[in-house]
Amino acid sequence: MSRFEQQVDTWGWPAAAVFGEPGQGAFVLVCEHASRFIPPNADDLGLSAEAKLSHAAWDIGALDLAKRLSARLQSPLVAGQISRLVYDCNRPLEAVDCCPVRSEIYDVPGNQDMLDTCRQARFEQIHNPFHAAVSRVLNAAGPQAILVTIHSFTPIYNGTPRHVELGYLSHTDNRFAQACLAQEHKRGRMRAALDEPYSATDGVTYSLQKHGEAQGLLNVMIEVRNDLIDTAPKAQSVADHLAATLIAAKKEVQP
């Protein structure tokens, strides 16, 4: 990538990193859950070593995929730099899980009985600089930019296997998600679906709403099963596949 920039929050730790050149390319990529980093002043949130490495702390493989897709599309990427267990940048302050007390099988002791003032401080120190970076990159991209957020999910959740490999999610405007799925059906390579394994009713489309729909931009959230992107060659293969899908979908919706 030609450019790397960090947006430093008031803790002195970066809340966001920007890869690529703002204003370049047809897309703006966002990866909210790119990092498992917990700042030292958060005392590891009382988590075990296992929990800090787990999918609960971040979307495993999502950053590698997003960086490869950013390079392939020659479009900028804004990536979160702090674990979602400290503050989930894909949640508003009023969401009960913006600072989760439990994630699947892991309790988060450092988030138990949290004072509103502490939650507000994390919002201001992590959420705000992250979303300021997203807004700045989108503003540079202009009104024709397409917002694409990148996430990963586990093959098994609460003991239930997930057979879908790739999900295209939307908040209320599903035009671009539908166009992406239509391309997947034409190509037939991956088991893809709309609004899987999550949907807007699960509260996962905050960034799409805030930066996509509110600004009148085409947008989509992409979920990839993390066993498909857990090595560099696999991540590159999926990045190449997604790039072709996104470019073809753009031609359909935004000729």
What is the pLDDT at residue 158?
A: 83
In single-letter form, the type of residue at position 136 comes to R
Counted domains in the chain:
1
pLDDT at 202 over 60: yes
| Cα 40 from chain centre | 23
Mean pLDDT for 80-109 is 96
Average pLDDT over residues 162-170: 97
- For residue 9, pLDDT over 70 is answered with no
* Contact assessment for residue 223 and residue 169, using Cβ atoms and an 8 Å cutoff: yes
Q: What is the CATH number of the domain that holds 201?
A: 3.40.630.40
Q: What is the pLDDT of residues 103-162, one digit of tens each?
A: 888 999 999 999 999 999 999 999 999 999 999 999 999 999 999 999 999 999 888 999
- Which element (helix H / strand E) includes 103? strand 102-103
How many other β-carbons are positioned within 10 Å of the β-carbon of residue 120? Answer: 11
pLDDT at 222 over 80: yes
110 with 42: CB under 8 angstroms? Answer: yes
pLDDT tens track for 14-50:
899 999 999 999 999 999 999 999 998 899 999 999 9
The single residue listed with the structure tokens 């909210």 is: 32
Q: Give the whole-angstrom CA distance, residue 37 versus residue 214.
A: 30
- pTM here is 0.94
> Residue 99 sits in which domain range?
4-253
CA distance to 10, 21, 123, per residue, from 60 (Å): 26, 25, 23
